[in-house]
């Protein structure tokens, strides 16, 4: 444990900062587009269009984090369900997985609290409500199914694209596109979380714990099922690394298959590239 913490603490902090930044963006754009006295909210009466704009903003935020220097280094999981799935696939060591998950929960909550300190009533207003994720009018059963389905879809796409040589660099774009689409289409069913740490980050200041079990069970379940399907088709050797973007000069702390491919300079450890 101490060895992992000593060697990999920068990646843990980057994961915390990544989800924190995502939550800051989610809160700010939700206030901008849903707070009643916001000029943007008053100018856009159509709730579907407002949700579409939030989806686009959050998809672009996800892309920006994944391709940022910190996202390139940590792998930009930003989600305990993603980390758990890569742990199941044998690409993340146990202590790294534990510290990643802890960092994600802390970072998500910190991001929301920072916006709460800055915006106060606007973020707490019922129309914004700290950007919480709760089941829609169709109920918790539908919300659970929807969360499982969208989580399954995201992980299957990430595994497929990130392990396809010509498309691997585009993994972040695919992930961002899915985030934007899911918020635009699926959000009325479950609030579109896919992420226990994201849900808890908003629920803490809102003190709103409605059907919290959905967001702790459905996203990991959906992603683990996607991993099982991918393994059944491609085999364990079909998963190369736990990073969403690996073709960069940042170090990799995972059980990484790219580091064995000496023909690709960006896949080598930094010391070897500098030799």
pLDDT at 263: 43
Residue 274 has pLDDT above 80, yes or no: no
55, 74, 172, 175, 194 from 108: Cα distances, Å? 18, 16, 20, 19, 13
Least confident of 52-56, 262-266, 271-275: 271-275
The string of pLDDT tens digits covering residues 223-240 is: 999 999 999 999 888 999
Residue 163 has pLDDT above 50, yes or no: yes
pLDDT at 79: 98
15, 88, 108, 190, 236 from 211: Cα distances, Å? 26, 26, 19, 10, 35
133: pLDDT confidence band, cut at 50, 70 and 90?
very high
| Separation CA 221–CA 227 (nearest Å) | 10
**Sequence-ordered alpha helix ranges (H) in the chain:** 2-34, 39-43, 47-67, 69-74, 80-88, 94-119, 121-124, 140-162, 171-185, 187-190, 196-206, 212-234, 270-274
For the chain, give every domain's residue range.
Answer: 8-269
pLDDT at 275: 34
Question: In b/e form, how buried is each residue of 63-100, taking b as 16+ CB within 10 angstroms?
Answer: bebbbbebbbbbbbbbbbbbbbbbbbbebbbeebbbbb
Residue 60 has pLDDT above 50, yes or no: yes
The string of pLDDT tens digits covering residues 173-191 is: 999 999 999 999 999 999 9
Of the candidates 182, 162, 153, 172, the one whose C-alpha atom is nearest the C-alpha of residue 61 is 172
Question: Between the CA atoms of 52, 158, 113 and 197, what dihedral angle is there, to the nearest 10 degrees?
Answer: 120
Element (H, E) at 70: helix 69-74
pLDDT at 176: 97
269: pLDDT confidence band, cut at 50, 70 and 90?
very low
Neighbours of 151 (CB within 10 A): 27
**Which residue in this structure is represented by tokens 């909210």?**
41
The string of pLDDT tens digits covering residues 24-46 is: 999 999 999 999 999 999 999 99
Query: What pTM value is reported for the model?
Result: 0.91
Of the candidates 14, 15, 22, the one whose C-alpha atom is nearest the C-alpha of residue 199 is 22
pLDDT at 1: 85
Phi/psi region, residue 134 (left: phi>0; alpha: psi -120 to 50; beta: rest), is beta
pLDDT at 260: 65
Residue 262 has pLDDT above 70, yes or no: no
CB burial class (10 A; 0-12, 13-18, 19+) of residue 258? middle
261: pLDDT confidence band, cut at 50, 70 and 90?
low
Mean pLDDT of the chain: 93
| Separation CA 106–CA 99 (nearest Å) | 10
Task: Write down the CATH number for the domain with range 8-269.
Answer: 1.20.1080.10
Residue 265 has pLDDT above 70, yes or no: no
Residue 73 has pLDDT above 90, yes or no: yes
| Separation CA 62–CA 179 (nearest Å) | 8
């Amino acid at each position: 444990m101490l060895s992992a913490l000593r060697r990999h603490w920068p990646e843990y902090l980057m994961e915390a900062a990544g989800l924190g930044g995502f939550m800051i963006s989610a809160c700010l754009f939700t206030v901008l587009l849903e707070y009643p006295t916001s000029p943007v909210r008053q100018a856009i009466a159509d709730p579907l269009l407002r949700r579409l704009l939030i989806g686009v903003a959050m998809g672009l935020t996800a892309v920006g984090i994944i391709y940022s220097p910190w996202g390139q280094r940590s792998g930009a999981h930003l989600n305990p369900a993603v980390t758990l799935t890569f742990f199941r696939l044998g690409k993340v060591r146990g202590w790294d997985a534990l510290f990643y998950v802890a960092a994600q929960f802390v970072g998500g909550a910190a991001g929301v609290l920072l916006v709460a300190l800055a915006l106060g009533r606007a973020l707490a207003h019922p129309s914004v409500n700290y950007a919480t994720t709760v089941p829609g009018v169709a109920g918790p059963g539908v919300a659970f199914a929807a969360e499982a389905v969208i989580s399954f879809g995201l992980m299957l796409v990430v595994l497929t694209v990130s392990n396809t040589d010509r498309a691997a660099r585009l993994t972040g774009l695919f992930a961002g596109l899915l985030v934007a689409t899911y918020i635009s289409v699926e959000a009325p069913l479950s609030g579109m979380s896919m992420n226990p740490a994201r849900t808890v980050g908003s629920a803490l200041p809102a003190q709103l714990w409605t059907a919290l079990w959905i967001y702790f069970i459905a996203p990991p379940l959906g992603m683990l099922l996607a991993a099982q399907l991918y393994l059944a088709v491609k085999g364990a050797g079909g998963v190369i690394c736990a990073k969403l973007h690996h073709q960069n000069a940042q170090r990799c702390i995972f059980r990484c298959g790219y580091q064995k491919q000496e023909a690709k300079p960006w896949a080598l450890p930094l010391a070897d590239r500098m030799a």
